Structure 1
Amino acid sequence: MAKRNNVVQLAEVKPVQFGQALSERYLSYALSTIMSRSLPDVRDGLKPVHRRLMYAMRQLRLDPNSAFKKSARVVGDVIGQYHPHGDQSIYDALVRLAQEFAARYPLIEGQGNFGNIDGDNPAAMRYTEARLTEVAEALLGGIDENAVDFRPNYDGSTEEPIVLPGGFPNLLANGAAGIAVGMATSIPPHNVGELCDALLHLIKTPNSRIETLVDLVKGPDFPTGGILVEPRESIVEAYRTGRGAFRLRARWEVEQLPRGQYRIVVTEIPYQVQKGRLIERIAEIINAKKLPILEDVRDESADDVRIVLEPKTGNVPAELLMEQLFKLSDLETRFPLNLNVLDKDNTPRVMDLREALQAFLDHRREVLVRRSTFRLAAIERRLEILDGYLIAYLNLDKLIKIIREEDEPKPKMMKAFGLTDLQAEAILNMRLRALRRLEEFEIRGEHKKLSGERKDLKALLKSEELQWNAIADEVRETKKKFGGKTELGRRRTELADAPAEIEHTMDDFVEREPVTIVLSEKGWIRAAKGHLDDKAAAELKYKEGDAARFAVHAQSTDKILVFATNGRFYTIGCDRLPSARGHGEPIRLMIELGNDQDIVQLEVLKGGRKFLVASDAGRGFIVPEDEVVAQTKNGKGVLTLADKEKAQAFAIVPEGANSVAVLSEGRKLLIFPIDQVPEMGRGRGVLLQKSKGDRLSDAQAFLLSDGLPWGNRTIPASELKFWRGERAQAGRMPEKGWPRAKRFKD
């Protein structure tokens, strides 16, 4: 037998530009992310994974009154039938819907370890159990009554709902967050009682102003409580545009202690802040001495939140201490609002508050009409059957005779009594016990009741006013069940005015005591108690290979100025410096100073003085001390430098100084009048000393009649005549016997 060659027919290969192919595929990915993963639907407030979880749990009959089932069973059903993605992502979504500190109105009731506000992870899905809550039941209500459209699942084996009926305003009540491709959403949770009030007002006044709605929906209501301190004007503007942010603070109180002391207890923290990480951050602030008045932080939480803050002294107002903590930690956060959602046409767009509420109402009206139409069809069918039953009771003997004598009684019955196919089939399926006289009365009673309901439904479907009245009744029922009079629905986030400015600062309460600021050659800084002399400062312990460089006397309430080779001045509070018990801390952790930069001078900030600053290129000027104070870690740029140029000289200008002395690396000295040096706040300055290939080493200002201080001696004015000249000259070499140092102060 001859061997046959297997020939594979290949599809036609078409050349495509790589950029075009990439853009088409990326667009498909972006659309999938936007519509099927990251943005919630405005109608039910759910993303696909949450909607599939709800529906799968309903199919498992996990209603609020049923027994719990393993979370692994739920996740397995969701993966197998509706959401073919990773089990961990689905379980994470399930867990979040069950966490009372994450979801304002939990959609899932969990049993087992579902994590906590500290940030601890939940137990594995095989250990936890879950079922739906009453809120979820309200979202799913009517789903079997043709309330919404269904579509085939990913493999066509079953169907899933496109959207839930949504008998609960879930989008704004529970909020949402997500990042898509090129867009994101961030919706804080709100109080459902307030939302219901706004919905009822919107039913009466469809064109209601945003300001009126904000009177009803006062602002977000977070599950972890806290205090909202955003001004009303900002809240209104955020809801008008659909974009903004809300300033949220922790709730705290003062507990008085003996001897005039007190402690602060934080009882509620901002939404989505992990308590464990928050306490770590406050501990870091204490260790870094960024808030020296705060001594300790403790976590005494049990089922409730209780973070204890211990100040060092009772002299500092608690309000001032907390204001500083609000600035330095997540005890104050800003929660963004970006009401970016998918509308009923599956189009992403940013809505304002009225549009989001109206979209929910429009959806509820559509659900009402569809459910009413479904119910009307069911009633019509049942009434048709009941009419057949009544005909059967009136002609019972004749019917029995037909059934007993005819091989095919159904057509004979339909012809004899004018029955429909449905009626004839129902009569044939009747049980003998239903032929009692009592049953006839019950059927007539049911017929009368259903006829009345049919009449009401037809009137409802014809009248828009009746439809809105029915929706208003549903909203009132939701408010009664989940509103502010219930434990779940009471408002948790307090609304308060924006805090007023406090007159005092923390510096007003720092204890004043003498300290010595020590900066080592390798850049480690610390503050030793008392005013140490040079010998005692040198005897402090240093890291191997390190030694003292600067040691200045100050008070704990002072600030120090640091002048660096990058031409910038930095300001550091002495109370924020580490103690001298250890080696201190690198100064580069306190200021933004590169590793290729060095410190030129360290001085205590006194104010009112003037400084002479110069670069190694010989350019410089005089700058007032008050203009070099920096407010941030980045410092303040004063001396502008060219490429490969660095700040080299710093000197305090004494009162009455009339001369400037400059010294180059080649030991050329030049003395000229100080009025030839301009006073500036910032810039490159003027050329102080001209030299080819030589760099400026040091500069100082002095009173000529007092002589030139250099090293450990002072050169009299009578010996300086030969070196006096004009600014920008080169200068001359010093005489023999003069100091050999290349700096005036070593």
Structure 2
Amino acid sequence: MSENDDIPSATVSETLSRAIGERYLTYALSTIMHRALPDARDGLKPVHRRILFAMRELKLSPTGGFRKSAKISGDVMGNYHPHGDAAIYDAMARLAQDFAMRYPLVDGQGNFGNIDGDNPAASRYTEARLAHPSEALLDGLAENAVDYRPNYDGTLEEPIVLPAAFPNLLANGASGIAVGMATNIPPHNLDELVEGCLAMIKTPEISDEALVGLIPGPDFPTGGVIVEPRENILEAYRTGRGAFRLRARWEKEDLGRGQWQIVVTEIPYQVQKSKLIERLAELIQTRKVPALGDVRDESADDIRIVLEPKVRTVDPEMLMGMLFRNSDLEVRFSLNMNVLIDGRVPKVCSIKEVLRAFLDHRREVLQRRSQHRMDKIDARLEVLGGYIIAFLNLDRVIEIIRTEDEPKPVLMAEFELTEVQAEAILNMRLRSLRRLEEMELRRERDALVEERAGLVDLLASPAKQWKTIGNQLRDVQKQFGKSAPGGARRTDFAEAGEVEEVPIEAMIEREPITVILSQMGWVRAMKGHQPIDAEVKFKDGDGPRFAMHAETTDRIVMMGSNGRAYTVLGANLPGGRGNGEPVRLMVDIPNDVEITHLLVPKAGEKYLIASTAGDGFICPGDELIAQTKSGKQVLNVREPGRTAVCVRIEGDHVAAVGENRKLLVFALDELPEMAKGKGVRLQKYKDGGLSDARCFTLADGLSWKDPAGRTRTETDLEEWIGKRASAGRMAPRGFPRDNKFT
């Protein structure tokens, strides 16, 4: 038997699922409690709390000097937060950003980033110190206001939570993603929060409606306008979950002579200005908001984004409504008040629960500070009692000190002094042996006795405690409230109905254009109504296919051989100079699909649509307009069939001609009206399929162009009139050889 046989094995066997489950649970709890969720009492995550505490230890007071950010983040990492210095510096930089924090907790000097989304300068280039609101959060740490715990290596101690003289969780907000849960809390106005706290102190069972009356909604550091209905805000605060619609602040700037522009002076919270400008420029380029002509960023210290309309006749409210819908000039800021209660339990809280957690914390801080002060007073009174005894028996005390080898036990025995009193007498300076000093000692003792009596009353009376907390909150309100610099509410409230769908005609200047589509699919729009048969230049190998008159406000429909309708706005077509642009850059037409028809559906119009298989139906013009680039399936076509007919309905009869040159005329009311589908049979064929069809008025006769280009009209159609789906009879003499009416 070897000497190692009695040593138990260090290897423990367990199932994989249990091992992974336990370890992942440990990681999840660590993430929830020590990284991602803020504490309801001071509103801080551990990294922010450690940054502020480390800066306090470095004595970086708001009125003192600055220190290098690298020194601060290094101390935080080395003493309290053993994580990456880049993450620590990023967290500290955010605390200094006045566009991210409603009440910045760090006073930064140097480049700490900007609202454009640029990153802060490296930590070696910037300096920082505590800001005034941080003093209010840290006040009381030296008076045993909160518990401490050992730091990560046990060499130092750090506070578990800060005393927090104001509800920082709601004042500055918080956001974080943990394991299986997240939090997102917007900033609020401190003056309103204090009013809410005072109301809760006065009426602990205050209703949610009354509380929201005092705290009407978030107050973002970047301003803006909240357009969320009040009932939605109330529900969000009552449940701890919801969202706020936040819009940019804008105004119309008159330039004279009927000219005007829109100036955006505040953008929504957490929207990067550079990304917003890029999005607005993209809207101009893609013509998604046709009325927007140009965007310029004229910002300096303040936000100033200039939006120029394309036409001055457009209504500014209408233009901004379209921009709110299509850009981050309006955002939805979600509320998810998931916080740690007492630093342990994650819970989605209402605004009343969050404020109650803060007030209960303040009461505990007050009790602990008061008890700490009482202990200090008791210790001082003990020393003062010894001093006064010494003054009353000064000669004897001096004699004992001069003659005794060990004066301390003699003093304690003769004058019934405690060890602390005797030590204090022996450490007394000779200059203190004045008559005036004795009077000062008695005055100090009387004042301390009176103060102690007040503290005893305070600790015994909850009513006095709440009154004291209220007074402390009013002091904070004077320092950071609406009368203080930067304390006034920045985010306003406004009523905003849903953005209505703006008619294109109101957004675009109406002008006549001539649309030209080439055989190779290049499209352009020439200004004015040019002659349809005018000579136009094309690329080598290309030629004319379609030409028609339209207006910039028209939605131009291109019917594909696959039965899909593709829509382009007339104002979005490229100009008439050059050869235009490929239409496939504007809409997603497959390469194997040919454009068979070009048309401009008007309100109330109807169209006859049919495939080469001879199936068709009547379709309202509105149903041909697609809202997406991929088009809209209108006619169901089966290979090898394709779209053969798409003509506007005029008259009371339909004439259909097949590839076999047989013509059939039947009443229009035999066709169904549909939004999409295959349709019904127009004409029966033994072989081949439908070549062309058109609608006409029977009394006026059927017209077509003969091979010589002359219009011919046939009024006696009795021979060809039949029921829908009949075979028909051979076309009249002189009918075009291509079996087309035009």
TM-score, length of structure 1 as denominator length = 0.88
Judge conservation of contact 1:639–1:647 (CA < 8 Å) in 2: no
SS of match in other structure, 2:218: coil
Q: How big is each residue's C-alpha offset from its partner over 1:265-297, in whole Å with a ceiling of 9 and x where there is no partner?
A: 222222222222222222222233333333322
Alignment deviations for residues 386-415 of structure 1 (CA, whole Å, 9 cap, x no partner): 112222222223333333333333333222
For 1:622, give the aligned amino acid: I
Who is 2:51 aligned against?
Answer: 53
1:648 correspondence with 2:643: yes
Question: Which residue of structure 1 lines up, in the alignment, with residue 336 of structure 2?
Answer: 338
CA offsets per residue over residues 417-440 of structure 1, 9 Å max, x none?
Answer: 222222222222222222222222
When residues 355 and 9 of structure 1 are mapped into structure 2, their CA distance, relative to the original with a 3 A threshold, is: closer
Q: Structure 1 residues 702 and 12 mapped into 2: Cα distance closer, same or farther (>3 Å)?
A: same
Alpha-carbon shift at residue 560 of structure 1 (Å): 1.8
Amino acid at match of 2:300: A
Distance in 1 between residues matched to 2:229 and 2:459, nearest whole Å: 44
| Preserved CA contact (<8 Å) 1:514 1:529 | yes
Counterparts of 1:302-701 in structure 2, within 5 Å, are: 302-498=300-496, 505=503, 507-508=505-506, 510-520=508-518, 525-533=523-531, 538-540=536-538, 549-564=545-560, 567-581=563-577, 584=580, 587=583, 590-591=586-587, 599-614=595-610, 619-631=615-627, 636-639=632-635, 648-659=643-654, 661=656, 663=658, 671=664, 673=666, 674-687=668-681, 700-701=693-694
Q: What is aligned with 1:281?
A: 279
User: What amino acid is the match of 1:652?
Assistant: V
SS at match of 1:402: helix
Partner residue in 1 for 2:135 = 137
201-210 or 491-500, larger mean C-alpha shift: 491-500
Aligned counterparts of 1:695 and 1:410: Cα–Cα separation in 2: 128
Partner Cα separation in structure 1 for residue 144 and residue 641 of structure 2: 78
- Residue 244 of structure 1 is matched in structure 2 by 242
1:230 corresponds to: 228
Tell me how far 1:706 sits from its aligned partner.
1.4
Q: CA deviation at 1:675?
A: 4.7
Ranges in structure 2 where 5+ consecutive residues have no aligned partner: none
Question: Which stretch shifts more, 697-706 or 300-309?
Answer: 697-706
CA distance in 1, matches of 2:11, 2:729: 88
Q: Distance in 2 between matches of 1:85 and 1:132?
A: 22
Could you tell me how far apart the structure 2 residues matched to 1:454 and 1:581 are? 92
1:44/1:166 contact within 8 Å kept: yes
Partner of 2:167: 169
Q: Provide the rounded CA distance (Å) in 2 between the counterparts of 1:641 and 1:243.
A: 49
* More moved, 202-211 vs 240-249: 240-249
Q: Describe the shift of the 1:301–1:719 C-alpha distance in structure 2 as closer, same or farther (beyond 3 A).
A: same
Residue identity in the other structure for 2:419: D
Q: Match of 1:679, as an amino acid?
A: E
Residues 408 and 557 of structure 1, relative CA distance in 2, 3 Å threshold: same
Residue identity opposite 1:658 in structure 2: H
Which of 281, 284, 297 is 2:295 aligned to?
297
C-alpha distance in 2 between matches for 1:38 and 1:68 = 29
Q: Any idea what SS the aligned residue of 2:142 has?
A: coil
Tell me how far 1:521 sits from its aligned partner: 5.4
| Distance in 2 (alpha carbons) for counterparts of 1:645 and 1:58 | 80
Distance 1:182 1:522 in 2: 55
Question: In the alignment, is the contact (CA less than 8 A) between 2:664 and 2:727 conserved in 1?
Answer: no
The DSSP-based 3-state class of the residue aligned with 1:76 is helix
Contact 1:648–1:696 (Cα < 8 Å) also in 2: no
> RMSD of the alignment, in Å?
3.6
- Counterpart of 1:150 in structure 2: which amino acid? Y
Q: Take 2:38 and 2:94, find their aligned partners in 1: how far apart are those partners?
A: 15
Deviation at 1:71, TM superposition (A): 0.6
Aligned-pair CA distance for 1:691? 8.2
What is the distance in 2 between the residues matched to 1:180 and 1:586?
Answer: 49
Distance verdict in 2 for CA 1:736–1:256, change over 3 Å: closer
Deviation of 1:255 after TM superposition, in Å, equals 2.5
Deviations 1:100-133 (A, max 9, x none): 1111111011111112222222211111100011
Give how far 1:215 is off: 1.5
Whole-angstrom CA distance in 2 between matches of 1:727 and 1:20 = 74
Alpha-carbon shift at residue 385 of structure 1 (Å): 1.5
Structure 1 residue 723 displacement after superposition:
9.3
| SS of corresponding position for 1:230 | coil
Between the aligned partners of 2:169 and 2:207, the Cα distance in structure 1 is 20
Instruction: Give the Cα separation in 1 of the matches to 2:356 and 2:456.
Output: 25
Quote the residue 2:208 is aligned against. 210
CA distance in 1, matches of 2:95, 2:313: 45
Distance 1:553 1:515 in 2: 6
Pick closer, same or farther for the CA change 1:715–1:35 going to 2, 3 Å: farther
Q: Secondary structure at the match of 1:103?
A: coil
CA distance in 1, matches of 2:265, 2:292: 18
**Count of residue pairs brought into register by the alignment:** 733
CA distance in 1, matches of 2:612, 2:344: 66
How much does 1:735 deviate? 12
Measured against aligned partners, the alpha-carbon deviations of 1:143-170 in whole angstroms (never above 9, x if no partner) come to 1212112222222221222211111211
Contact 1:670 1:729 (C-alpha < 8 Å) held by counterparts: no
Deviations 1:158-215 (A, max 9, x none): 1222211111211111111222232222211111111111111111111111111121
CA distance in 2, matches of 1:409, 1:668: 138
| Aligned position for 1:158 | 156
Contact 1:114–1:128 at 8 Å: present in 2 too? yes
Confirm or deny: 8 A CA contact 1:39 1:342 kept in the other structure. Answer: yes
- Structure 1 gaps of 5+ residues are none
* Equivalent in the alignment of 1:14: 13
Structure 2 CA distance for aligned equivalents of residues 595 and 471 of structure 1: 75
2:613–2:690: 8 Å Cα contact kept in structure 1?
A: no
